[in-house]
Structure 1
């Protein structure tokens, strides 16, 4: 059984995934990490990006300059769509391979673009980490030290809160402290074990 975990930027997906992994030993596949793997130096995707955007999106080390690329794609929606068309199939392939190696009773696919990319179709259930947009802005500004305007652009590129919740089978509310978040995850873990065992809960 594969659970898709999603939520907007700054919602707390990482904290939820960490609890599932560390406390309950669940195999976690992170789509964001896979998106970094497919653009590593020597990969064909990186060369395609350089050919399209130019050398300004590459650091002196030969690695992708993610900040420079982010500036380009969030100021031009067409460029973002081009990049997604290139990367999404490659990321999907990496995800499928990793999920196939899972040894735990169920596995978790963590993706900020679970709904938008169609990755939710690879899962059996969708778990949404839900917070207000104000909280998203505040947390991300403090964490990443980037202008609110850039965060708002990223939020606009992601599914709306309502759209995510429409796809949700389960929702974790992350508007309290870490202990409250962990409690919700622990309850869900028991539910997922039951579902994986074929029990209807």
Structure 2
């Protein structure tokens, strides 16, 4: 019986770093962000539903792909529109991730990693058996985000504030990786979890 692990964290917490480590160790990663990009590719059902709802004005002229900035501007300031968009995209993303999971199980995988940034915010814990949260303290998160995205302190702080606080996610997790230290320390913690839970790729 395959084990489904939910991997999550917060913006600039280092979740992608841990996801890459697992990938290099041969684990199957199903990435929610990647799935969200796939379901809105030209011609996909979610793409057609978005164009129908928001009009062709949100498309790039040259290739008819969705202009994320334009769509983002519409939904950022309008709750109702954002709910409509999420109502189209979220079920499509879940569907794609679950079918990728089924395919991985069919090929004999023992452990499947669901990399879901908004695992708790979107109430998706039903999709996984256990959860790992990648944690950093607020100062580290702030400085990493400012450096990574060239944000001002205020911009970075507002991005962090828009998410469920990392310290609250820690209380909900089955295991926590403290990513305040070095990469080596992070990897050591990951390996301990994999060993303790007896998780093979």
Aligned to 1:43: 44
Unaligned runs of 5+ in 1: 197-201
Give the direction of change, closer, same or farther, for the CA distance of 1:153–1:36 in structure 2 (3 Å limit). farther
Give the direction of change, closer, same or farther, for the CA distance of 1:144–1:165 in structure 2 (3 Å limit). same
1:108 aligns with 2:113: yes
Counterparts of 1:43-192 in structure 2, within 5 Å, are: 43-60=44-61, 61-102=63-104, 103-146=108-151, 151-192=156-197
- Inter-partner Cα distance in structure 1 for 2:76 and 2:155: 8
- Inter-partner Cα distance in structure 1 for 2:57 and 2:153: 24
| Contact kept in structure 2, 1:74 and 1:154, CA below 8 Å | no
Give the direction of change, closer, same or farther, for the CA distance of 1:118–1:144 in structure 2 (3 Å limit). same
1:32 aligns with 2:33: yes
| Contact kept in structure 2, 1:105 and 1:193, CA below 8 Å | no
Give the direction of change, closer, same or farther, for the CA distance of 1:73–1:162 in structure 2 (3 Å limit). farther
Aligned to 1:199: none
Give the direction of change, closer, same or farther, for the CA distance of 1:15–1:58 in structure 2 (3 Å limit). same
CA drift of 1:154 comes to 4.1
- Inter-partner Cα distance in structure 2 for 1:145 and 1:50: 32
Unaligned runs of 5+ in 2: none
- SS of the aligned residue for 1:126 comes to strand
